[in-house]
Structure 1
Amino acid sequence: MFRKGNLFAEIPQRLRTEQSSELTSTPEVKIERIVSMGQATPAGEWLEQHRTEWVALLSGAAGLRFEDEAATQILAPGDWIEIPANTRHRVEWTDAEKPTVWLAVHYAEEIAV
């Protein structure tokens, strides 16, 4: 049996909090769609994940900042970035006027093939 969907289906036009939907996962890999609309990491907080995250921005816009960098990296549709495991980072801002849709792939550094 196969599964299918559309990454732009059922995107709310207003969100109080960021929406994360797991599309598929195995013990080694998790793929999710994230929808943001003006959300950001709270001031003074940093995100730090135990797995590497590859993320692509599909629509909208966002600013990402890494603890060891002074400047915010601006992401536009089509941009992607790989965030190594245990890298402190934060979402400085996301587009507040229209949904920002992310495709995120979380995986361990070593994946058995």
Structure 2
Amino acid sequence: MIPEINNLLTPFETLPEGEEFEELFRGKSCRVERIVSTGQSTREGQWYDQEHAEWVILLSGSAVLRFEGETGGRSLVPGDAVNIPPHCRHRVEATAADQESVWLAIHYEPVENG
């Protein structure tokens, strides 16, 4: 089988109404997905609290990410990446509404130190 080449930044014909999640591949202890946001944010009062770790990079657009305990969010621009440990509560405060904000997320089981 010959591998297919895809471009993660190929825009949609029209902006999707909702956030789009596309699993690119899955391994034994990791999952890689592309997320396309068009103005979405995490519902008020909701926090993500994940069992696994997540490394995420913003490839295009803009976003604001906030971690529990912070009074304000952190603005992200293309190229900004963050490694989120398991159970580190976080939320997406905002994404650009006038363009696609494309994320690459790697969900994985971290190696335990010790």
* TM, length-normalised to structure 2: 0.90
On the 8 A contact 1:58/1:78 being kept in 2, the answer is: yes
In the alignment, is the contact (CA less than 8 A) between 1:34 and 1:101 conserved in 2? yes
| 8 Å contact kept, 2:11–2:100 | no
For 2:61, the equivalent position in structure 1 comes to 60
| Gapped regions of structure 1 (runs ≥ 5) | none
Residues of 1 paired with 2:4 and 2:108: CA distance? 21
Cα separation, 2, equivalents of 1:11 and 1:92: 23
Distance 1:57 1:22 in 2: 16
In the TM superposition, structure 1's runs of 4+ consecutive aligned residues that sit over 3 Å from their partners are none
Q: Which position in structure 1 is the counterpart of 2:71? A: 70
TM-score by length of 1: 0.91
- For residues 59 and 46 of structure 2, the distance between their equivalents in structure 1, rounded to whole angstroms, comes to 25
Percent identity over paired residues? 44
Q: Distance in 2 between matches of 1:11 and 1:86?
A: 33
| Aligned pairs (5 A) from 1:1-113 | 1=1, 2-110=3-111
- Whole-Å separation in 1 of the counterparts to 2:4 and 2:111: 26
SS of the residue aligned with 2:107? strand
1:11–1:35 CA contact under 8 A, matched in 2: no
User: What residue ranges of structure 2 are gaps of 5+ in the alignment?
Assistant: none
